[in-house]
Amino acid sequence: MAKNKVKFGLSNVHVAKITVDESGEITYGTPFKIPGAVNLSFDPEGDNEAFYADNLKYFESYANNGYSGDLEIADIPDQFLNEILGQRIDSAGGVVENINDKITPFAFMYQIEGDQSGTRFCYYYATVSRPSTEAATTEDTKTPNTDTLTITTSARSSDGQVRYKLPLSTTNKTKYDSFFTSVPEPEEDDEI
């Protein structure tokens, strides 16, 4: 299968709730979809430090502290508010936010289209801040308001994995097709 020359589009945003036991072992819940993805903007986190000797840059070290940025979506689903932001859904279907809500880390997954096929991404450990709320009056046209989630990713504590990227190929179709059914892990024989 030919490699993509360009990328465009954002779809298939999913999250999987993380549970951490007393020993620090991470378990992922079943991924669920966040519909209505509009825009994703991630910037790398971490600095580089140069060491100079012999009147030149002798050595340089880099810190990979994951990524941070914003996910713009049409509307935050109640399942996300409940499972990730820790808000309670009452018997009338209302969502209750409380000062004692506990935000839960999660795996963050999505797909970016290309001219040949989509590429799927998984960030193994992500956190989110509470979203801001905006609304506007309707004018001549009905322009939808969106919600923005600020997401920070970091390395998984058990093995340092930050991100997994899987473009579709002729040899990985099964793994590609099941990417959003559970959090994907790298193959043991993969080389870096």
Q: What is the pLDDT of residues 28-71, one digit of tens each?
A: 999 999 999 999 999 989 888 888 888 888 888 888 889 999 99
Q: What confidence score (pLDDT) does residue 148 get?
A: 93
Instruction: Please give the model's pTM, rounded to 2 decimal places.
Output: 0.87
Residue 53 placed within a domain:
yes
Cα separation of the two ends of the chain: 21
Q: Give the CA diameter of the chain.
A: 71
DSSP 8-class letter at 154 = -
Residue 188 placed within a domain:
no
Between CA 152 and CA 127 the distance in angstroms is 5
Residue 189 placed within a domain:
no
The alpha carbon of residue 147 and the mean position of all alpha carbons in its chain are separated, in whole angstroms, by 16
The CATH number of the domain holding residue 59 is 2.30.110
Residue 93 placed within a domain:
yes
Between CA 33 and CA 79 the distance in angstroms is 9
> What is the domain count for the chain?
1
Is the CA virtual torsion 175, 176, 179, 183 positive or negative? positive
Give the CB-side neighbour count of residue 46, counting CA atoms within 13 A: 14
Three-state secondary structure call for residue 175: helix
Contacts of 25 (CB under 8 A, 6+ apart): 158
pLDDT-derived band of residue 153, with 50, 70 and 90 as boundaries? very high
Most confident of 125-134, 137-146, 178-187: 178-187
Residue 18 placed within a domain:
yes
Residue 182 placed within a domain:
no
Between CA 15 and CA 182 the distance in angstroms is 10
Q: What confidence score (pLDDT) does residue 189 get?
A: 67
Q: Report, as an integer, the average pLDDT of 116-140.
A: 88
Identify the domain containing residue 151 by its residue range: 7-177
Residue 161 placed within a domain:
yes
Residue 186 placed within a domain:
no
Task: Flag whether pLDDT at 171 surpasses 70.
Answer: yes
